[in-house]
């Protein structure tokens, strides 16, 4: 039998009621390059960890996915999220021996974690 290996996350998908507005939010919020058309392809960004995405699983009352996106200035990023029609749901806080994190929602209510190292 061949040696088994981990199956890493290699792609993500977001379904939106208004995909054009959602694409504009993410273009402006994170400077993501997002294509036009029915399937708005989001290009891989610069500066991501070379080993790829990591993540975690935890319990909660509502199943969901959360994208955690690294930002340079968490205060400016939470302000920008509000300006672009999103909502701050948790102001920046420091994790013990870790980064500073805040949570926002995009205009359609998808939860985002903002991470400042």
Q: Report how far residue 4's alpha carbon sits from residue 7's, in angstroms, rounded to the nearest whole number.
A: 9
User: What residue spans define the domains of the chain?
Assistant: 19-46+65-116
Task: Give the model confidence (pLDDT) of 80-92 as tens digits.
Answer: 999 999 999 999 9
Distances in Å between the alpha carbon of 60 and those of 20, 53, 91, 92? 30, 22, 20, 21
Q: What confidence tens digit (pLDDT) does each residue in 30-76 have?
A: 988 889 988 888 877 766 555 556 677 778 788 888 889 989 999 99
* Global confidence as pTM: 0.81
Q: Which CATH architecture has domain 19-46+65-116?
A: Roll (3.10)
């Amino acid at each position: 039998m061949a040696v088994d290996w981990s199956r890493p996350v290699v792609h993500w998908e977001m379904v939106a009621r208004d995909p054009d507005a959602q694409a504009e939010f993410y273009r402006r919020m994170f400077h993501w390059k997002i294509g036009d058309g029915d399937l708005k392809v989001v290009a891989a960004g610069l500066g991501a960890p070379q080993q790829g995405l990591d993540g975690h699983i935890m319990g909660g009352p509502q199943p969901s996915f959360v994208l955690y996106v690294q930002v340079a200035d968490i205060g400016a990023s939470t302000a920008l999220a509000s300006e672009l029609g999103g909502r701050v749901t948790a102001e920046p806080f420091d994790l013990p021996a870790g980064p500073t994190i805040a949570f926002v929602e995009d205009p359609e209510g998808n939860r985002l974690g903002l991470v400042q190292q």
